[in-house]
Amino acid sequence: MADCCTPAQALPDPTNRQKLLKEAFWLEWLTIGWMTIEAIVAVASGIAAGSLVLLAFGLDSVIELASAGVLIWRLRTELQNGRAFSESTERIASRLAGALLLLLAAYVTVAAIWRLWTATGEEFSWPGFIVALMAIPAMRYLARRKLAIAEKIGSRALRADAMEAIACGWLSFVVVAALTLQWLLGAWWIDSVASLAIVYFLVKEGREAWSTDACESCCG
């Protein structure tokens, strides 16, 4: 069945499609491996240093872990059974991920405002800085390959997952910039302000995941 974003004549032949599905499958496993490391280091570092921006970064990684798990399920089903994954199930999974992202955005907003109000600072974290720095090229690679495959096989779910990788790349950049400024200037407010910048990406990603109009989410 052709995706609404990809004309039927543009879809690959069955043999080539199988190769693309297998590549996407292993890309998702690679995503799970990296996101597990990223989530553990970022959350642990965020708690230890009292850094809201690192904690938000780590929780976003946990959400991306769940997304990768859904994609592995979808890809394995087609590889093994040769039939399309249930669109209703994809929609439910996407809405759950969107709801979690929006809740995370609400938490970060409230926590950041509270810290600015009470003038609460945090400590610099080298482990958090390193994992965020490494995430920038990692997310760029994963996003580019997933987008290319999603376009060829006409997969809305894989495209949405690739967009999450792009968002994670931007989050990584925000975290690196925030921690660098914190290290250089030692200003107590940088962590809270940077975490508010992350909220934009969380809300944007959450709204797209929640959207019931799959074609709009994919093509718009």
> Average pLDDT of 160-177?
84
Q: What is the pLDDT of residue 121?
A: 63
H helix or E strand, kind and range, residue 41: helix 14-49
**Assigned token pair, 155:** 């997969």
Rounded Cα distance between 117 and 130, Å, is 29
Q: How confident is the model at residue 89 (pLDDT cuts 50, 70, 90)?
A: low
pLDDT tens digits, one per residue of 136-156: 999 999 999 999 998 898 887
CB 144 within 8 A of CB 212: no
Claim: this prediction has a pTM higher than 0.85: no
Distances (CA, A) of 208 to 69, 107, 160, 201: 19, 19, 8, 11
CB 198 within 8 A of CB 56: yes
pLDDT tens digits, one per residue of 26-48: 999 999 999 999 999 999 999 99
**Contact partners, residue 214, CB within 8 Å, separation at least 6:** 4, 87, 90, 91, 156
Q: What is the pLDDT of residue 43?
A: 94
- Please give the CATH superfamily to which domain 14-219 belongs: Cation efflux protein transmembrane domain (1.20.1510.10)
User: Of all residues in the chain, what percent are helix, strand and coil, respectively (each to 5)?
Assistant: 85, 0, 15
> Average pLDDT of 56-76?
85
pLDDT tens digits, one per residue of 172-219: 888 888 888 888 887 778 777 877 877 887 888 788 778 744 444 444
Rounded Cα distance between 127 and 48, Å, is 11
Rounded Cα distance between 55 and 49, Å, is 10
The domain spans of the chain are 14-219
Q: What is the pLDDT of residue 8?
A: 42
DSSP string, 141-208: HHHHHHHHHHHHHT-HHHHHHHHHHHHHHHHHHHHHHHHHHHHHH--TTHHHHHHHHHHHHHHHHHHH
Amino acid code (one letter) for 130: I
CB 207 within 8 A of CB 98: yes
Q: How confident is the model at residue 120 (pLDDT cuts 50, 70, 90)?
A: low
